Structure 1
Amino acid sequence: MTLSGRTALVTGAGRGIGRAVAIRLAAQGARSALVARTAEELQETVRLVEREGGTAVPITADVSTEDGVRAVLDGAAEALGAVDVLVNNAGTVQPLGPAAEMDLERWIGAFAVNVFAPAALSFALVPDMVKRGWGRVVNVSSGIVAHPAALGGFNAYAATKAALEAHTLNLAAELKDTGVTVNVYRPGSVDTAMQAWIRERGENLVDAATYARFRSSYENRTLITADDSAASLVARVPLPETGCVWDASDRI
């Protein structure tokens, strides 16, 4: 099963998993609208997609705001028309630190990126998918939802990803038998810029055991590549199953 002739919208496509997903989608024959806040990173992703023979349109926007979501929807519609596949990959691990010392506005801001943006884009695109009888929504989550107490200092991240998964599974149930599938994807421990940032600057923000875990994962080379994770995600997109929590480690 391929995605030849389909159109995709991928958020957080400027680097890491999002960039790798964009390249993998192109290899499956999909045309994509790619979203990120940093134009330079986004242009590099487009260059890599085009190098593989794919078609990609960059949209520089902040999806945590209503104006940003509207800019993404308008840009994708103008460039590609109807969207068949939505991959909500944009996310933030910030703010980190003891929960009782958390700045409330920053904590709420994490929900804007990790929950509001995927929901807003889905609500806007799903009705047309239903009309056409085919659509795919994949929300990139995290393994922290399975073990929310495991990472001290990640309260906002744990809460937002749990909310994202609840939203995903509830929406999937609502759309059952419409031809539109909605699934969660847990990407595994991936060697990304976020991982590097925590190793370099997170020692005083997370608890000692959590910091040691991030350091040892890198030093012991147990992290997987963004491309490995993206391959697992993209391979599942054409499947008809819905309401699932996919994990990068699961066999397809």
Structure 2
Amino acid sequence: MDKWQGRVALVTGASSGIGEAICENLVKHGMKVVGAARRIKNMQDLVEKVKNENGTFLPVKCDVTKDEDIYALFDKIKETFGGVDVCINNAGFFGTGGTPEEWRQMTNVNIIALCLCSKLTVNSLKERGLDDGHIINISSLAGHQVYPFGESHFYTGTKHAVQALSEGLRQELQADNSGIKLSVVSPGLVKTEVFNHVHGNPMYNKIYEGNTSLKSEDIADLVSQILSAPPYMEVN
């Protein structure tokens, strides 16, 4: 991780769970980390927690379902640090898929925001003449198979889209002879707040009880391992 010391990382969905753990991990490795989320108070707590670490943490309130918030986020990072070197697209929304409103929310968070942040990261790197950035998309095992739970099928569809769009961007970067890397992390069950808003459903109440789950710190460690790979190694 030495090569990333002093470089800038953007982490979306940074107010809890996997996103918070990734932010803390990258700050400890000496990066200038920008956390983006709607719940600014949670991120301000993290500022205090990591104040004595090697890197820095800047929380920015951002609703990734709003394009204008994402553009404003990248403008702020450009003004403050010059641009984004590493983008961790972690923000995600799990809905039970019962209404068009939930479908739009999942599409906006899980797909469109991820694509826009990726595009703006590539633009930021090219504007500064840099060719060593890294985009890491946090997906899910649901992006690789369809589980027999009807309520999760739209969410599953969005994660399949993440897989396809990530591979598409990787191919575009490769065709451009770019040194910018793209990786996808597809965790299974992780102990986070992802099911909190559907806690009334007994099926989701029992998910953690009946299954062994990963910890957010496990995913954060994996992200740092991917970033530690040498320039000639691609971790898809």
Q: Which position in structure 2 is the counterpart of 1:20?
A: 21
- The alpha-carbon deviation at position 197 of structure 1 amounts to 4.8
User: What SS class does the counterpart of residue 188 from structure 2 fall into?
Assistant: coil
Contact 2:17 2:193 in 1 (8 A): yes
User: What SS class does the counterpart of residue 153 from structure 1 fall into?
Assistant: helix
- Paired positions, count: 229
Pair 1:42-2:37 in alignment: no
Structure 1 stretches of 4+ with a deviation exceeding 3 A read 195-198, 240-243
Pair 1:202-2:201 in alignment: yes
Q: Greater CA deviation, 173-182 or 143-152? A: 143-152
Give the structure-2-normalised TM-score: 0.89
1:123 counterpart letter in structure 2: K
- The alpha-carbon deviation at position 182 of structure 1 amounts to 1.0
CA gap of 1:132–1:26, structure 2 versus 1, over 3 A, is: same
- The alpha-carbon deviation at position 51 of structure 1 amounts to 4.2
Question: Which residue among 155, 159, 167 is the counterpart of 1:169?
Answer: 167
- Counterparts of 1:141-220 in structure 2, within 5 Å, are 141-176=139-174, 177-198=177-198, 200-203=199-202, 211=203, 215-216=206-207, 218-219=208-209
Encode CA deviations 1:221-243: one digit per residue, 9 max, x unaligned: 61121112211122112324447
Question: Which residue among 106, 110, 120 is the counterpart of 1:114?
Answer: 110
Distance 2:124 2:80 in 1: 17
User: What SS class does the counterpart of residue 228 from structure 2 fall into?
Assistant: coil
Contact 1:136 1:180 in 2 (8 A): yes
User: What SS class does the counterpart of residue 219 from structure 1 fall into?
Assistant: coil
Q: Which position in structure 2 is the counterpart of 1:91?
A: 92
Percent of residue pairs bearing the same amino acid type: 31
Encode CA deviations 1:80-138: one digit per residue, 9 max, x unaligned: 212110001011002x05xxxx3223212211111110111111120332431110000
Contact 1:49 1:56 in 2 (8 A): yes
Contact 1:57 1:79 in 2 (8 A): no
Distance 2:14 2:134 in 1: 17
- The alpha-carbon deviation at position 38 of structure 1 amounts to 0.8
- The alpha-carbon deviation at position 6 of structure 1 amounts to 1.3
Distance 2:64 2:151 in 1: 25
Distance 2:120 2:154 in 1: 26
Q: Greater CA deviation, 150-159 or 134-143? A: 150-159
Long gaps (5+) in structure 1: 204-210, 245-252
Distance 1:107 1:172 in 2: 26
User: What SS class does the counterpart of residue 150 from structure 2 fall into?
Assistant: coil
Distance 2:86 2:5 in 1: 12
What's the C-alpha RMSD, in Å, of the aligned pairs? 2.0
Contact 1:33 1:80 in 2 (8 A): no
Question: Which residue among 238, 246, 251 is the counterpart of 2:228?
Answer: 238
Contact 2:143 2:162 in 1 (8 A): no
Long gaps (5+) in structure 2: none
